Amino acid sequence: MKPSLARPLVTLLAGLGLSLSVLAQPVQGEVRKVDPDGGKITLKHGEIRNLDIPAMQMSFRVSDPAWLKRFQVGDKVTFTADKVGGQFTITSITPRP
């Protein structure tokens, strides 16, 4: 019987201060509001499994403020999100047709 690597891997990640959220999967959404002054974007989105968030509309910080100039209300996007500094943050975002 081969020993499972899952438990040692989780232990190693935890020991390094990392989480399984590095496995963030892309989520589809639609831009509902852009707030450059607040550094946030509001998205209506599908389920975000790595954060255990159901489909809903919510605001996120962005890891790159330039994204707030790139997207407009109504744009369809694909994004990943994570918890950074205790706040839900968009870590990547691209337009989709």
The residues that bridge with 92 in the sheet, in sequence order, are: 80
Q: What is the pTM of this model?
A: 0.76
* Stretch 37-54: mean pLDDT: 97
SS (H, E, C) the chain: CCCCCHHHHHHHHHHCCCCHHHHCCCEEEEEEEEECCCCEEEEEECCEHHHCECCEEEEEEECCCCHHHHCCCCCEEEEEEEEECCEEEEEEEEECC
Asked, for residue 66, whether it belongs to a domain, the answer is yes
Query: What is the pLDDT, as a whole number, of residue 21?
Result: 46
49-89: per-residue pLDDT in tens? 999 999 999 999 999 999 999 999 999 999 999 999 999 99
Return the CATH number at 38. Answer: 2.40.50.320
Let me know if residue 71 belongs to a domain: yes
Higher pLDDT, 48 or 12: 48
Decide if 4 is inside a domain: no
87 lies in some domain: yes
